[in-house]
C-alpha cells in the first residue's frame, strides 16, 4: 500500500491553483487529465506544480490540526492540568498522527523535488521561472526545518521519490538543517520583496519570509550571531511592521497584513474532514459550544486555564480579546462557562456562525510567522549573544509590549531576568500559534514546566519518534535512540 501511495505522489495528479489574496477556493485539476508524460510542458504547468507544494500546508494533520495541537495543547496553557499521561501516550511510534505528520511533510518535499527537477527545462518567462523555483526551494527548506526540529534525524531526499530510491536511511539532524539552510538562502536570493508582489500573489513566499525563516533556523541551532543578522535584515528592509492593534489579524479580513511574514492560506467551502478541506479547523477545535454563536465548537477541554489567564499583566489589551469569562459577550450571546472544562473561553481564531460554512472550515489564515514573533526572537538572540539585553533588544520586546498597552521593561535587567521576560511575552503574544511547546523544549525548561503537568520526560520527548510504519516498511530506517 505504501508503494502504491508513492506511485501516486510522483505523478503530479493532485496539482492545485494556490489561493490568491481573496482566498478563492483552490481549484483542482481532474485526475484523468494530467500525467507525468504530458505535464510540465507549459508555464501554467510550472505554476500549478509550485502551487501543489503549498497545498500540503492545509492538510488536516498539519498546521490546522496536529502541529497546532502539539504546539498549543501539549503545554500548560489550555484545559485542566495536570494530565501526566499526555506525552507518554501521544509521543509513541504507533500513534497514527505522528505518521500523518511525517508523511505529509514528505509529500510536500517530494512535490518540491519534482518541481525543481521538471520546471527548469520548460520554455517560459525567465523571471517567473526563477521565482517559482525560489518558492519551491523556500518550501522544501521550510519543510525540512520542520522535520529536523520535530523528528531530528530523518531521510534527506533531494530528488523525486521512485520505487528505486524508496528505501533510504536517516541523515543526521545537522545535515537536514544544513539542507534547509541552503534552500532558504538560495530562495532569499531570487524571491521578490513583499512590496513588489502582484496583489494576486499575496501569501506566496517572499524574500523577507525566507530571511526571517533563516533567522529562526539559526536561533533554534543557538547560532545567535547569524540569527541576529537575518532578523535585522528583515527589520531594516522596512517591509513589515506591527499592526496598530493586536486583535484584527485574528478576525475576518485580517489575513496577510503588514505584520504577516508567512501564513497558511485558508478558504472556506472546500469539503469535509479530508485534505480537500482548504479551510481552517481552529474555530471548531478551540470554540466551546454556545447556542446561536458558533455552529459546533469542540473546544470544551481546550479552553484557557487559570495559569494562562494569570500570566497576563494588569492592563494587557491582549487579554481583553483572547479571554472571555462567564456572562461576557461571545459573538453576540453571553458566554456560558459551564460548557467548557475551564471557567474561560477564547476569541482568538474563533469565527461566529455567520462568517463560516461550519466552524471547522473557517477562512482565517494560520500564522506561521508574524513580525511580532520575529521581534521577540531578535530580542532573545541579542540577549543571548551579549550575555544580557542591549538597547536594540529592549526596543524589539518593548515594541510588542507597547502595542499591547504595556509599559517598557525596566532598564538594567540581567540576562536571566530579560530571558524570563521573553518567555512571558512569547507565551501571551503568540498564544495558539503553535510556538509554546517547542519554545519550552528548545529552551531546555520543558521538564520543569511540563513534567508534572503533561508527563514530559527529559531526554526523550524533546523530539517525536520515527513512526512505526516507517520502521516496518523501510529496512534502512532506525528508531531514535530515545525511543529504543
Question: Where are the domains positioned within the chain?
Answer: 308-349
pLDDT for res 6: 31
Cα distance between residue 174 and residue 121, in whole Å: 32
End-to-end CA distance of the chain: 26
- The mean per-residue pLDDT over the stretch 93-104 comes to 90
More reliable by pLDDT, 1 or 162: 162
Nearest to 459 by CA among 468, 447, 469, 470: 447
| Model confidence pLDDT, tens digit, residues 5-45 | 233 333 333 333 333 334 432 444 443 445 566 789 999 99
What would the pLDDT profile of 417-472 be if each residue is shown by its tens digit?
Answer: 999 999 999 999 999 999 999 999 999 999 999 998 899 999 999 999 999 999 99
| Contacts (Cβ under 8 Å, ≥6 apart) of 384 | 222, 224, 415, 419
Instruction: With cut-offs at 50, 70 and 90, classify the pLDDT of residue 280.
Output: confident
Average pLDDT (389-415) is 98
Cell 494556490: give the residue: 18
List, for residues 54-64, the tens digit of each pLDDT value: 999 988 888 88
CA distance 413 to 338: 42
Which of 168, 48, 58, 59 is CA-nearest to residue 114? 48
What separation in angstroms does the CA of 80 have from each of 301, 307, 373? 7, 10, 27
Tell me the per-residue pLDDT of 181-198, one tens digit each, with 9 for 90 and over. Answer: 999 999 999 999 999 999
Amino acid at each position: 500500500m505504501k508503494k502504491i501511495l508513492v506511485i501516486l505522489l510522483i505523478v503530479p495528479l493532485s496539482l492545485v491553483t494556490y489561493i490568491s489574496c481573496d482566498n478563492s477556493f483552490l481549484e483542482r485539476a481532474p485526475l484523468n487529465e494530467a500525467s507525468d508524460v504530458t505535464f510540465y510542458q507549459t508555464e501554467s504547468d510550472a505554476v500549478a506544480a509550485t502551487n501543489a507544494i503549498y497545498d500540503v500546508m492545509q492538510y488536516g494533520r498539519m498546521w490546522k490540526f496536529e502541529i497546532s495541537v502539539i504546539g498549543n495543547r501539549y503545554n500548560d496553557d489550555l484545559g485542566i492540568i495536570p494530565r501526566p499521561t499526555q506525552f507518554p501516550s501521544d509521543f509513541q511510534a504507533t500513534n497514527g498522527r505522528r505518521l500523518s505528520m511525517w508523511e505529509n511533510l514528505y509529500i510536500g518535499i517530494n512535490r518540491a523535488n519534482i518541481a525543481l527537477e521538471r520546471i527548469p527545462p520548460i520554455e517560459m518567462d525567465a523571471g517567473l521561472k526563477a521565482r517559482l523555483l525560489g518558492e519551491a526551494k523556500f518550501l522544501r527548506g521550510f519543510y525540512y526545518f520542520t522535520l529536523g526540529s520535530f523528528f531530528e534525524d530523518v531521510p534527506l531526499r533531494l530528488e523525486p521519490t521512485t520505487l528505486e530510491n524508496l528505501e533510504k536511511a536517516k541523515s543526521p539532524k545537522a545535515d537536514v538543517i544544513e539542507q534547509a539552510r541552503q534552500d532558504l538562502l538560495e530562495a532569499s536570493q531570487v524571491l521578490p520583496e513583499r512590496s513588489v508582489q502582484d496583489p494576486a500573489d499575496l501569501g506566496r513566499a517572499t524574500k523577507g519570509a525566507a530571511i526571517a525563516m533563516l533567522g529562526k533556523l539559526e536561533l533554534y541551532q543557538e547560532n545567535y550571531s547569524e540569527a541576529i543578522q537575518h532578523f535585522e535584515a528583515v527589520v531594516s528592509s522596512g517591509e513589515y511592521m506591527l499592526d496598530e492593534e493586536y486583535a484584527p489579524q485574528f478576525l475576518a479580513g485580517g489575513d496577510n497584513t503588514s505584520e504577516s511574514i508567512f501564513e497558511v492560506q485558508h478558504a472556506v467551502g472546500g469539503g469535509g474532514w479530508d485534505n480537500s478541506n482548504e479551510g481552517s479547523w481552529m474555530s471548531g477545535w478551540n470554540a466551546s459550544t454556545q447556542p446561536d454563536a458558533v455552529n459546533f465548537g469542540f473546544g470544551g477541554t481546550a479552553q484557557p486555564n487559570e495559569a494562562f489567564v494569570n500570566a497576563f499583566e494588569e492592563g494587557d489589551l491582549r487579554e481583553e480579546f483572547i479571554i472571555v469569562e462567564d456572562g461576557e459577550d461571545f459573538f453576540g450571546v453571553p458566554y456560558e462557562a459551564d460548557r467548557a472544562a475551564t471557567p474561560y473561553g477564547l476569541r482568538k481564531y474563533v469565527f461566529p456562525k455567520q462568517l463560516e460554512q461550519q466552524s471547522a472550515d473557517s477562512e482565517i489564515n494560520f500564522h506561521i510567522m508574524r513580525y511580532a514573533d520575529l521581534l521577540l526572537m531578535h530580542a532573545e538572540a541579542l540577549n543571548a549573544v551579549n550575555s544580557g539585553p542591549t538597547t536594540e533588544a529592549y526596543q524589539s520586546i518593548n515594541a510588542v509590549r507597547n502595542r499591547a498597552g504595556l509599559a517598557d521593561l525596566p532598564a538594567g535587567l540581567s540576562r536571566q531576568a530579560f530571558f524570563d521576560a521573553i518567555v512571558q511575552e512569547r507565551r501571551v503574544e503568540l498564544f495558539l500559534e503553535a510556538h509554546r511547546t517547542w519554545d519550552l523544549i528548545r529552551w531546555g525548561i520543558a521538564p520543569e514546566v511540563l513534567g508534572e503537568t503533561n508527563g514530559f520526560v527529559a531526554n526523550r520527548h524533546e523530539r517525536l519518534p520515527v513512526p512505526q510504519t516507517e520502521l516496518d516498511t523501510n529496512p534502512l530506517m532506525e528508531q531514535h535512540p530515545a525511543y529504543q
